[in-house]
Structures are given as structure tokens and as C-alpha cells.
Amino acid sequence: MTAASQLRQWDNAHVWHPFAPMTAYREEEAPIIERAEGFHLYDVEGRRYLDGISSLWCNVHGHRVPEIDAAVREQLDRVGHTTLLGLGSVPSIELAKRLVDITPAGLTKVFYSDSGATSVEAALKMAYQFHRQKSGGPEERDLFATVSGAYHGDTIGSVSVGSIALFHRMYGKLLFETVSVPSPSGFRFPNGMSQSDFHSHCLAEVERVIVEHADRLAAFVIEPLVQGAAGILVHPPGFLRRVRELTNEQGIPLIADEVAVGFGRTGTMFACEQEEVHPDIFCLGKGITGGYLPLAATLATDEVFDAFLGDPSEGRTFFHGHTYTGNPLGCVAALASLDLFEQNRILTNVSTNADVLRQRLEGLAAHPHVGDVRQKGIMVGIELVQDRETGEPFDSALRVGHQVTLAARKRHVILRPLGDVVVLMPAPAMTRDLIEELCDVALEAINEVTASPNG
């Protein structure tokens, strides 16, 4: 038995993969990655693949980046990890200052955790406790507002404010109560509404829900500009801004979850910048370390933070934390990544690549099996349908989106679908020639699969 075969056997016997129907996974023999270089991954058989989803939307500058590698190695010569429970650390302090300097104005305090979901979990608990301790007097606010189709992670709190049925319905009895407003994106509109009519309806529902539940709402939670896991649903201009205006009017904190959309993916460093929105609580993860190490941050305003101040005997402390909170290795990777954003003009590169993606995918507007192409910056979702004219979806049992990723894999490109939405998520620093290759393969794979979706 070869080493590769042994690994395959152990993988099938012992590793439970996330979001994977394991019976199908075992049959498909997915690549087992052993190394990477630049924007390519190499498997144990020596095959090379273009990383077309930036390692689940987190890689920024590529793999084995000399500057980030050096920063992590240098930190290893100091200390790999110490706790922030009762102690400080140099990298966590320096990173907190950098994050405060570059995020929307007013966010002055940084709470670390280790993943996007835990950053949201901390945000929800902050908002809930804030109302019970704020200077204007305690309020028993116990309701969170969300956008339909939301995805904020897989911990219980973050699932509670999510609403993707496939992911979340199984856990319904474990979750707390929320209220939802319709997502203003997509290409199927109810009751024969036009796109414009539907957008107006969504804004009216936002106002209704916020006003109706103002006394109970602990916070409004939103993915700014783009709902990633819902299928790259791009919100119309002004939607985020209007949510902020209404929450401000009613004294409701706004939690902006930029775990997926932050660090350049929408065209600006942070999505909130595009509508000059200043949230009360801000969640970061994924790209924060350049895609190197698990680290996340929840930023808050002084107003939120001050509600937790007092004598220890008052019990106002935020009793929440993680073993690897503020891990020094993750923090120095993040600092090195932020340096590279400036040195390599990454946001300019994102703008160029966004134009390339837009131009290369224009032809899909007439494709008989493409219902919609949604793009914001370098985040792209291509929704595949049985019939373009009617919007009729493919039978879900066909797993057409998944078939496209398998067809792309044969062409040495890694993609991952969201149902029948094929996602292109190149790293912000990816070069133009690789963006062109990514588009070539995606188009070829879509044409191959939709020509005969039954195989």
C-alpha cells in the first residue's frame, strides 16, 4: 500500500469532514493536500490545483508568504501562546491598535476569539448584557433581528440568528427567538413583484420590524452588502445604510458581521465603508490573519464597553473567553498581513480583478442554465437553473453545483458550491493570469455539467 493510499484509508476511517455527506465524500476521493505554494495547492499524488475559493474565503496573499512565515517563525522564538485571561501580550495589543485604526470610526475596543462564529457569539452576548447594564437603566431586551438567509456561523447563538434551512432546521429546538426581515437580493421575487418593488418592500419590512419590536430588540445582526453562504446575495445600494439609520433612531445596536466580507473582498477593506456605516459591534475573522491561523475579533464602541465597567463585586464583567484568545502567532500573522495590504496595494489589485471577473463572466447572461450572476468585488455567485426563462431550479438530487466542482477539479481548480450556486472566491492578492484561468475553468465546467446534468 502506498503512503497516499494509507492516508486515504485513514481519512475515510477516521476524519469526519465539515459540511460533507460522508458517503459521497468517500466515493469521490477528494484531494488530500500536503503542501502549497502561492495560490496553488498540491496533493499527496503530486497534482497541483488552483485555490479558487481561497481556502474557504480566508486566504488573502497566497500560501507560504515569506513575510507572514517570517513573522510567525520569529514569534515562535519568543512564545507560541499565553493567555489573555489576566495577562497581556505584545502582539495582541499591537494588533488591537491596528484594527481600531482601520475599522469604521467609533470601534475602540477589541475582544479576541478564534473563529467567525465565536466572534458573532461574543457579539450577541455583549449586546444582550449591554442592555442590562447600560447607563440609561436596565432593559430586558431578548430579541435579535436578522436578514432571511443569514449565515453567521455554527455555534448555537450564531445559528439562532441564521436562517439557512438546510444548515439550521435540525437544531430548531435548541435556538433562541429571533425576528427576520426579507433579504433584498436574489432573482426570484414574490407575487409577480418587479425588482424595484421588492426592494421597496424589503425596506418597508425593515422599518416595520425595527419599529414594532424596538423595545425588545437587543441588536440587529447583518452581513454588510453580501450574504455569503446564502449564495452570494448582493444587497442593493442603500440597504445597509437604511438599516443603520433605523437602528440609530430606535436606539438598537447594529452588529455588522464582516467575517466573510472583510479584508478587501468587496472592494474596500471593510464592506461598511461603502455606505459610511459605523456599527456598534463589528465581527471579524477568516482573512484577519491572511488565512494562516484561527483568529477572530469582535470590536465594540466605548458606549458598549463602558456598560461592563464597575467594581468586581457588581458582577458587570463580560464572563466570556477562549483558551486561545489573542493567540500571539495569529496576531503576528495578522499584523504581517495588514502590512502586505499596504505594501502590495492589495485593494487596487482587488479592483482590477473584479473588473476581469465581470468582463469574463458577461457571457453567462445568455447561458440557458444560468439564472443569475451576482458579484461584489471578487465575491461571485453563479446560480444554475434548469430553465433560465422560468427560473426553475435543477432537481436538488442531481447536485449540479457539486458536479461543477468535480468537473473543475479534473481541470486542476478547486471550487466549492452553495447548493447550485457556483462560488468563485479568489484571494485578494491573486494575479490576473490566475483569475483568467479560474474563469476559463469555471465556464468550461458549467458548460460540461449543464449540457448533461444527469451525468
Task: State residue 189's pLDDT score.
Answer: 87
Query: Residues 399-417: what's their mean pLDDT?
Result: 98
Average pLDDT for 321-350: 98
Cα–Cα distance, 50 to 299 (Å, whole number)? 34
Distances (CA, A) of 364 to 11, 16, 63, 381: 38, 36, 31, 12
Burial of residue 4 (number of CB atoms within 10 Å: 0-12, 13-18, 19+): middle
CA dist., res. 290 & res. 263, Å (int)? 9
- List pLDDT tens digits, range 39-59: 999 999 999 999 999 999 999
On the question of pLDDT at 252 being above 70, the answer is yes
Tell the residue number behind the cell numbers 502590495, with chain if given: 344
Mean pLDDT of 82-106: 98
Question: Whole-angstrom Cα distance, residue 265 to residue 259?
Answer: 11
Q: Say whether pLDDT at 377 is over 90.
A: yes
- Length of the chain equals 455
Closest CA to 145 of 251, 252, 235, 241: 252
Give the pLDDT score at 455.
Answer: 61
Q: How far is CA 120 from CA 15, 117, 130, 264, in A?
A: 27, 5, 15, 20
Give the three cell numbers for residue 413: 481548480
**Range scoring the smallest mean pLDDT among 39-48, 144-153, 189-198, 220-229:** 189-198
Q: Map grid coordinates 494509507 to a residue.
A: 6
- H-helix or E-strand spanning residue 210: helix 195-212
Task: Find the distance separating the first CA and the last CA of the chain, reported in whole Å.
Answer: 32
Average pLDDT estimate for 117-145 = 95
Q: What is the pLDDT of residue 111?
A: 98
The model's pLDDT over 224-240, given as tens digits with 9 standing for 90+, comes to: 999 999 999 999 999 99
CA atoms within 13 A on the CB side of 23: 0
The span from the CA of 58 to the CA of 286, in Å, is 4
Identity of the amino acid at 19: F
Query: pLDDT tens for residues 153-175?
Result: 999 999 999 999 888 899 999 99
CA atoms within 13 A on the CB side of 245: 10
Can you tell me the distance from the alpha carbon of 273 to that of 281, in angstroms, rounded to the nearest whole number?
15
Residue 204 is predicted with a pLDDT of 97
Q: How confident is the model at residue 79 (pLDDT cuts 50, 70, 90)?
A: very high
The vertex-258 CA angle with 270 and 76, nearest 5°, equals: 90
Cα–Cα dist 309/225, whole Å: 33
Please give the domain boundaries of the chain with CATH numbers for all domains.
31-61+345-451 (3.90.1150.10), 69-343 (3.40.640.10)
Q: Residue range 263-283: average pLDDT?
A: 98
